[in-house]
Amino acid sequence: MSELSEIYQEIILDHNKRPRNFGELPESTCSADGHNPLCGDELTIYVIVDGDTVCDIRFEGQGCAISKASASLMTLKVKGKPLAEVKEAILEVCDMLTAQEEPADLDALGDLAALSGVRQFPMRIKCATLAWHTLKAALEGNTKTTTE
Ligand code: ZN
């Protein structure tokens, strides 16, 4: 189990150090700012939606390693995917992060499973869900969101 958490830690640190799809996306069709006052994480998510597809997604901002890694992993998960699938992924990941039990199928989550470790640290759960809540807000046409 400790070996598993080491792998997870490496994924988080790697995405924090080299966030994927990081930066502004000037031609975005929707965007939202997310703020987690508990930790001070601030993210902006930019999305290009074409028809029913999330064609491109980028993010920028400042935050702790978990908030950045979560946003980075999220962009990899949803880029190029149909909107319906993206919305499902948002629900799935937020459920996974707030559930009492260990996710049933960690393998199916791929690298996102690395985020499941935050369930043991209630203060950090909002760091991990911030990017996903912000993406949801952007897709719903809300430009600002704060984790409650
Ligand atoms: Zn944080």
d(CA 29, ligand 1 centre) in Å: 27
Q: What is the pLDDT of residue 50?
A: 95
Q: What is the pLDDT of residue 147?
A: 75
Mean pLDDT of 111-126: 89
Q: What is the pLDDT of residue 4?
A: 65
Just give the CATH number of 3-137.
3.90.1010.10
Q: CA–CA distance from 92 to each of 22, 30, 112 (Å)?
A: 23, 22, 11
d(CA 148, ligand 1 centre) in Å: 14
How far apart, in whole angstroms, are the C-alpha atoms of residue 56 and residue 52? 12
d(CA 69, ligand 1 centre) in Å: 10
Residue 17 predicted with pLDDT over 90: yes
User: Which tokens is 45 given?
Assistant: 């998510």
The per-residue DSSP string of 6-31 comes to HHHHHHHHHHHHS-TTBS--TT-SEE
SS3 at position 57: strand
Distance of CA 77 to the CA centre of its chain: 9
pTM of the predicted model, to two decimals?
Answer: 0.93
d(CA 133, ligand 1 centre) in Å: 14
More reliable by pLDDT, 123 or 78: 78
Up-side HSE of residue 51: CA atoms within 13 Å toward CB? 5
Q: Give the H or E element holding residue 138.
A: helix 122-139
pLDDT tier, 2 (very low <50, low <70, confident <90, very high otherwise):
low
Residues with Cβ–ion distance below 5 A, ligand 1: 39, 41, 64, 67, 127
Mean pLDDT of 119-147: 91
Q: What is the pLDDT of residue 3?
A: 66
